[in-house]
């Protein structure tokens, strides 16, 4: 029965794909074609809204929210078009919640709120992906030639001079201290975490007005080495423990820091749920040798959830946030996992800057070096920021 249903879904997905493809081809010949938007009818907003359940709807009227080339601070990790991606349908999907709409992103309104203030994204490369999206959204909506980018160690600072505002990214992929904290040279085979220590990082962001955290991907391995003591001195005590347990310790250290150091009237707090990966096609009904490479359409099977997204980690954060709330610290958990799960088509795949030159063997088998973790921009992280925006202006 389940199998039949999956096959049916695949068929529907295929037919829909064909439709989009035909539509896109037809559109090339006829600039006014827009019938596919008929299925994109918008909903009325009625009060409280669950942004996190819904579906993707093709909408090339409103999306993309900016042009890849227009964003002066685009990252080569996300500039898929620049690195040769030619199917651009991935840029044109709107996330449609079931009972309402996500408000339109208004960069000037957000900048007005950020006047004289500082917003910081803290976490790993997926959070940096979201930060680059925010930078592009703001830069393209101000057209401000005065905007600048400054990098100082783990901190990258986008400054919007005309508003005296700063939108920053702080690299700390495990939130707490670890041997992966170097902003560039962080690819280390053996991961060591000081799971109780966050102050070295936190002192760079505690004073912010809006904080957006994430951490997940770097914990996704069975075990992790925890260090009691410091990296600089001898005599530290190491213990290998299950990663999930390490994650609990780290999230506890993070939450304790917020409880004692955050100015509750000043700082708004957000935590982004895990970003899914698409590295094994058998999870969505192609072969297991296949990954996000060559994928051009979202998964249409309702409730699709990949094996890479471990709900136990999500649960740790959720429980901790509930406890913080009882202590008067309000962190909003933005549950973007499900909506991103559907987007097997939206990763850079082979269309991004490669850190190391590709070998002959890799070139023969492109899926072997496809990036199925990060996201192309414009793309999925723009939607995360629209949802973030909706929570900043409830």
Ligand X SMILES: *[C@@H]1O[C@H](CO)[C@@H](O)[C@H](O)[C@H]1NC(C)=O
Q: Which residues bind ligand X (CB under 6 A)?
A: 52-53, 116-118, 144-146, 161-162, 164, 263, 265-266, 294, 314, 318, 333, 335, 337-338, 367
Whether 71 contacts 136, CB under 8 Å = yes
User: Minimal CA–CA distance to 110: which of 160, 65, 64?
Assistant: 160
Question: Smaller CB distance to ligand X: residue 37 or 366?
Answer: 366
CB of 303 to ligand X, least distance (A): 8
Strands (E), 127-236: 148-152, 155-160, 165-171, 177-178, 192-194, 210-213, 223-228
371 is catalytic: yes
CB of 265 to ligand X, least distance (A): 5
Dist CA 274 CA 280 (whole Å): 18
86 — phi, psi (to 5°)?
A: -115, -20
Q: 33 in helix, strand or coil?
A: coil
Question: Smaller CB distance to ligand X: residue 263 or 354?
Answer: 263
CB of 366 to ligand X, least distance (A): 7
CB of 294 to ligand X, least distance (A): 4
Please provide the size of the chain in residues. 394
374 is catalytic: yes
Question: Smaller CB distance to ligand X: residue 146 or 151?
Answer: 146
Show the CA angle centred on residue 169, arms to residues 310 and 150, nearest 5°. 155
Instruction: Fill in the DSSP letter of residue 249.
Output: H
Q: 253 in helix, strand or coil?
A: helix
CB of 351 to ligand X, least distance (A): 13
Dist CA 355 CA 184 (whole Å): 11
Q: Which of 124, 181, 371, 382 is catalytic?
A: 371
87: number of Cβ within 10 Å:
15
Dist CA 170 CA 231 (whole Å): 20
Dist CA 359 CA 192 (whole Å): 30
Q: Which of 59, 75, 124, 125 is catalytic?
A: 125
CB of 273 to ligand X, least distance (A): 6
Greatest C-alpha distance within the chain: 71
Question: Smaller CB distance to ligand X: residue 117 or 245?
Answer: 117
Q: Which of 178, 280, 374, 382 is catalytic?
A: 374
Q: 238 in helix, strand or coil?
A: strand
Question: Smaller CB distance to ligand X: residue 117 or 220?
Answer: 117
Question: Smaller CB distance to ligand X: residue 260 or 355?
Answer: 260
User: Minimal CA–CA distance to 348: which of 102, 44, 75?
Assistant: 75
Whether 118 contacts 168, CB under 8 Å = yes
The token pair that represents 31 in the structure block = 């600039």
Which residues does the annotation mark as catalytic? 125, 371, 374
């Amino acid at each position: 029965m389940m199998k039949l249903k999956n096959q049916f879904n695949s068929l529907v997905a295929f037919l829909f794909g064909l439709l989009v493809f035909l539509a896109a081809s037809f559109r090339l010949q006829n600039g006014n074609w827009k019938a596919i938007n008929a299925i994109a009818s918008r909903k009325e907003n009625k009060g409280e809204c669950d942004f996190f359940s819904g579906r993707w709807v093709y909408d090339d009227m409103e999306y993309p929210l900016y042009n890849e080339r227009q964003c002066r601070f685009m990252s080569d990790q996300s500039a898929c078009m620049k690195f040769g991606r030619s199917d651009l349908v991935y840029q044109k999907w709107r996330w449609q919640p079931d009972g309402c709409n996500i408000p339109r992103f208004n960069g000037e309104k957000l900048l007005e709120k950020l006047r004289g203030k500082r917003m910081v994204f803290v976490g790993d490369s997926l959070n940096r992906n979201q930060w680059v999206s925010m930078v592009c959204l703001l830069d393209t909506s101000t057209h401000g030639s005065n905007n600048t980018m400054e990098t100082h160690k783990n901190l990258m600072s986008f400054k919007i001079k005309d508003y005296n505002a700063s939108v920053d990214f702080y690299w700390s992929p495990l939130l707490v201290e670890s041997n992966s904290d170097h902003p560039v040279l962080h690819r280390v085979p053996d991961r060591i975490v000081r799971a109780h220590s966050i102050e070295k990082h936190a002192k760079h962001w505690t004073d912010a007005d809006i904080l957006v955290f994430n951490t997940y991907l770097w914990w996704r391995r069975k075990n992790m080495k925890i260090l009691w003591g410091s990296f600089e001195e001898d005599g530290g005590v190491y213990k290998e423990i299950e990663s999930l347990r390490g994650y609990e310790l780290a999230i506890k250290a993070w939450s304790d820091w917020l409880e004692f150091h955050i100015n509750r009237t000043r700082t708004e707090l957000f935590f982004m749920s895990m970003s899914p990966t698409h590295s094994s096609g058998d999870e969505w009904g192609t072969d297991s040798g296949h990954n996000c490479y060559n994928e051009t359409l979202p998964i249409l099977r309702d409730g699709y959830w990949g094996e890479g997204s471990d709900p136990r980690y999500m649960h740790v954060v959720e429980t901790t946030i509930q406890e913080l709330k009882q202590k008067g610290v309000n962190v909003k958990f933005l549950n973007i996992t499900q909506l991103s799960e559907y987007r097997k088509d939206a990763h850079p795949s082979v269309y991004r800057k490669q850190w190391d030159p590709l070998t002959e063997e890799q070139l023969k088998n492109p899926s072997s070096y496809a990036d199925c973790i990060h996201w192309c921009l414009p793309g999925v992280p723009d939607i995360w920021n629209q949802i973030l925006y909706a929570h900043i202006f409830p």
